[in-house]
Amino acid sequence: MNRARLLLGSLRKMSAMPAILLFFALLVANSFIMANSLSRSFLVSYLNNTTPVMCIAIGTSVVIICGEIDISLGAMLSVGNVLLIKLLGAGVPYQAAVVLVLAASMAMGLLNGFLIAAMRGSSLLTTFATSTIYSGLALLIMPVPGGSVAREMSRFYNGSLLGLPAAALFFMIPYAIWKIYKRTTHGMRLYAAGYDRNKAYVSGVNVTGEKIFAFVFAGFCAGMGALAITSSLGAGDALIGAAMSMMAISAAVIGGVSLSGGYGDVTGSLFGSLFLGLITVSVLSSNVSPFVQQLASGLILLFGMLGAMAFGMKSGKKRN
């Protein structure tokens, strides 16, 4: 009996708990609204659509954990998307194009990291500014949506790999990298740097270096998201990532990542993204008037965030 209580207690302390609960609650609720909502085909296509946001959510979470915030990831994803289409359209071989896109994303992340970590700028305002710059860049590269990709890419994306949806590969790679990184000494230092910059410095942590890594990694995640969405859409659209930054942050907050840094994990954000994606689907398939749908989504999102924050406060964290 005590063991069960201990287990429950430690489950309750898991930061990802609210996101997981919300997701499954909505999944169950949705099964009443929508027919076939638990069918494999639905779930797979839903996962495919949510993958790009999940990629960005991973990057966003890591940056928040290290004590900063990055709202330019959606714009970076847009750049990656149009860049990939343009390169493929120009005849660049697939592998080279992928490498270039990832490199470009990481370069943009490096710029963010440099501006913020080295110059101690405010990360919210700075990444807001860089998001406008990157969006502009994406629009310059491709002012009008268009282009196409080889059929194989879409088929690969929508198909399966070893029985699992192939799309999952795109977010599993950054996820795996993060999980490995977290187990190394650097991972702990990242958390410490986010929790208290000065404390970490006195303990010998290279705060600037860890933060720059976080931003570059976030850029990499945006690049992976760009690859994912390009394979999924089969075309380029400079505005595709516009709303994703905010969704990723909401996903992170719902996922239990504390905005003050040093707490939480990416797993929660993944479930947060799934929850958000499911909101859109549920609202779409419910009988709510199409005009109210966006409002409904917004309200659910708001309550999701508030709920997650309240949960975080109640399980004994007195942090703002």
Partner 1 sequence: MTDEPVLSMEGIVKGFGGIVVLDRVDFSVRRGEVHALMGENGAGKSTLMKILAGIYHKDDGRIFVEGREINIKSPNDPIRAGIAFVHQHPNLVPMFDVAHNIFLGQEPLRGRRVDHKKIYAEAGKILAAIGTAISPHALARDLTVAERQELSIARALSFAPRVIAFDEPTAPLSFKEVERLFEVISRLTKNNVTVIYISHRMDEIFRISERITVLRNGKSITTLTTKETTPDEVIHAMLGSDIAFNPKSVYDETGETVLKVEGIVTKNLPQTIDFSLRRGEVLGLFGLVGAGRTEVVRALFGVDRINAGALEVNDRRFGAVSPSLMMRNGVALVPEDRHALGLVMDMTIKENISLANMNSFKLGPFINHARERAAVRGLSHQLSIKSRGINTPVSSLSGGNQQKVVLAKWLHRRPSVLILDEPTVGVDVGAKGEIYNLVNSLAKSGVSVIFISSEPEEIFRVADRILVMYRRRIVGEFQAGATDIKKLMAIATGVQAAS
Partner 2 sequence: MLNVLITAARNFVKNYFVATIMIATLAVFCLTCPNFFSINNLLDITKQGGLLSLLALAMTMVLIVGGMDMSVGAIYDICTNFCAGMVISGYGVFLSVAVSVAAGLGFGIFNMVMIVFIRVPPFIATVGTMFVVTGLTFAYNKGQSILLSNQPLFFSLAQGATLGIPNIAIIVAVITVVIYICLRRFRYGLYMYATGGNSMAAKAAGINTTLSQLIAYGMSGMLSGLGGALAASYISGSFALGSPFEFLITAFAAAFLGSTLIRQGELNPLGTVIAALFITSLNNALTLYGVSFLILPGMQGTVLILALVLGNWGKKQTGQMTIF
Tell me which residues touch partner 1 (CB under 8 A).
180, 183-185, 188-189, 192, 195-196, 198-199, 201-206, 262-263, 317
Sequence-distant (6+) residues with CB within 8 A of 70 are 59, 60, 63, 112, 123, 127, 215, 218, 245
Give dist(CA 232, CA 241) in Å, integer.
13
Subset of 218-257 contacting partner 2 (CB under 8 A): 238, 242, 246, 249-250, 253
Q: Which residue has the tokens 């120009």?
A: 90
Binding of partner 2 at residue 297 (CB under 8 A)? yes
Subset of 124-183 contacting partner 2 (CB under 8 A): 124-126, 128-137, 139-140, 143
Site string for partner 2, 90-119 (x = CB under 8 A): -------------------------x---x
User: Are 192 and 211 within 8 A, CB to CB?
Assistant: no
Distances in whole angstroms, Cα of residue 188 to Cα of each of 58, 74, 192, 193: 17, 27, 6, 9
Tell me whether residue 64 or residue 111 sits nearer to partner 1 (CB atom): 64
Least distance between partner 2 and beta carbon 299 (Å): 6
Give dist(CA 74, CA 66) in Å, integer.
19
Give dist(CA 309, CA 264) in Å, integer.
12
Site string for partner 2, 43-82 (x = CB under 8 A): --------------------------x-------------
User: Nearest Cα to 304, choosing from 266, 277, 284?
Assistant: 277
Binding of partner 2 at residue 269 (CB under 8 A)? no
Binding residues for partner 2, per CB under 8 A?
69, 115, 119-122, 124-126, 128-137, 139-140, 143, 238, 242, 246, 249-250, 253, 259, 289, 291-299, 301-302, 305-306, 309, 320
